[in-house]
């Protein structure tokens, strides 16, 4: 059994067999060609443990939803929530200049659902309509507002620490997950939370690591470089914006390697560290000036003396880490040195 299979087994001991017919659909299978980490798999900046795709993430979200709700409609919604994602995911937001919201890359989910007759037939067989699936955020367990935890955000913290940053092992994931349950937030909506302060704090340490990594210049440079390469190919007439949604990442990389962006892309794939500077570098092959990006963070709910509270209301540790996160600032410039 692979680690990914073990991860999925932790998330739901009972497998929802009804998702299998959806997994076979071409529109869902296409997610196997989209990596989850927005390009981290293509550089040595990060030592990603193994390939984790949008398909894997979608299955994960479905398993979590089934575990917490045993609701078929919500589980199918979780499975289909990322169908509108393009190749290189949120790097396409960077192509479009959407750094802080990171929502412009995603197509309208209703249009995407309507584009697949196979998918519509599956929904019909299950007695579901498009309005049962979209909007996704009609089910707060699948998608909710920050700082709440939904399955999409929960997998972000877990798989980033397990697979991308490798700060956790499966035992850490299990110890966190076993202490989670469905609670009601102050708005009366379903939200995933914790049985105790101690469990919530343990998770929050990992969530803090995740949040900081996504504010560091390694992540900014990686995504901006990919976006600049792709933007150049569009400007040169080699790619169109529409093809980000049609082609696989490997097909796009093949186009990069036959373009004038080959040298920069090759440097990126072998890059093991970036350089930092507070003054504009003079020996850069590629550089960025640090810029604000989307704040990806959570503050979990937890049970406390018979009530449900947000962790920052009762935890000094949470407030300390939250302050560190809010005040975090990387260097003004980040760059790749010329050879």
pLDDT at 255 over 80: yes
Report pTM: 0.95
3-state secondary structure of 14: coil
What integer pLDDT is reported at residue 93 of this predicted model? 84
Give mean pLDDT, residues 274-298: 93
Give mean pLDDT, residues 87-115: 80
What integer pLDDT is reported at residue 45 of this predicted model? 95
Are 54 and 106 in contact by the 8 Å Cβ rule? The answer is: no
Mean of the per-residue pLDDT values for the chain?
Answer: 95
For residues 188-218, b (16+ Cβ closer than 10 Å) or e, as one string?
A: eebbbbbeebebbbbbbbbbbbbbbbbbbbb
C-alpha–C-alpha distance, residues 218 and 206, integer Å? 19
CA nearest neighbour of 22 among 90, 86, 72: 72
C-alpha–C-alpha distance, residues 77 and 151, integer Å? 11
pLDDT at 101 over 60: no
Residues 240, 242, 244: CA angle, nearest 5 degrees: 85
pLDDT at 109 over 70: yes
pLDDT at 185 over 60: yes
What integer pLDDT is reported at residue 22 of this predicted model? 98
Give mean pLDDT, residues 147-171: 96
pLDDT bin (cut points 50, 70, 90) of residue 43 is very high
CA nearest neighbour of 244 among 39, 2, 12: 39
pLDDT at 308 over 60: yes
What integer pLDDT is reported at residue 96 of this predicted model? 82
CATH 1.10.3210.10 fits 3-215+295-327, yes or no: yes
pLDDT at 98 over 90: no
CA nearest neighbour of 277 among 315, 221, 238: 221
What integer pLDDT is reported at residue 99 of this predicted model? 66
């Amino acid at each position: 059994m692979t680690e990914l299979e073990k991860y999925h087994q932790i998330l739901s001991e009972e497998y929802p067999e009804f998702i299998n017919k959806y997994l076979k659909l071409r529109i869902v299978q296409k997610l196997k060609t989209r990596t989850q980490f927005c390009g981290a798999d293509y550089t040595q900046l990060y030592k990603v443990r193994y390939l984790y795709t949008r398909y894997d993430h979608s299955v994960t979200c479905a398993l979590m939803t089934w575990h917490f709700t045993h609701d078929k409609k919500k589980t199918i919604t979780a499975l289909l929530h990322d169908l509108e994602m393009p190749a290189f995911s949120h790097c396409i937001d960077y192509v479009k200049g959407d750094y802080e919201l990171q929502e412009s890359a995603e197509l309208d989910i209703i249009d995407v659902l309507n584009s697949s007759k196979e998918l519509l037939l599956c929904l019909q067989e299950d007695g579901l309509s498009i309005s049962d699936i979209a909007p996704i955020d009609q089910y707060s367990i699948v998608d909710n507002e920050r700082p709440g935890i939904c399955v999409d955000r929960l997998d972000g913290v877990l798989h980033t620490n397990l697979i991308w940053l490798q700060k956790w092992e499966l035992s850490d994931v299990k110890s966190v997950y076993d202490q989670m349950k469905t609670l009601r937030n102050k708005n009366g909506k379903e939200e995933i939370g914790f049985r105790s302060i101690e469990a919530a704090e343990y998770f929050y340490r990992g969530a803090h690591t995740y949040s900081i990594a996504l504010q560091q210049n390694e992540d900014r440079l990686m995504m901006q470089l990919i976006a600049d390469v792709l933007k150049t190919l569009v400007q040169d007439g080699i790619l169109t914006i529409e093809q980000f949604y049609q082609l696989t990442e490997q097909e796009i990389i093949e186009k990069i390697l036959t373009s004038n962006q080959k040298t920069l892309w090759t440097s990126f794939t072998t890059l093991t560290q970036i350089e930092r500077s507070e003054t504009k570098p003079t020996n850069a092959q590629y550089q960025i000036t640090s810029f604000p990006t989307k704040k990806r963070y959570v503050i979990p709910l937890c049970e406390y003396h018979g009530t449900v509270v947000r962790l920052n209301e009762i935890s000094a540790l949470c407030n300390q880490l939250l302050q560190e996160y809010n005040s975090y600032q990387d260097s003004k410039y980040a760059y790749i040195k010329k050879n």
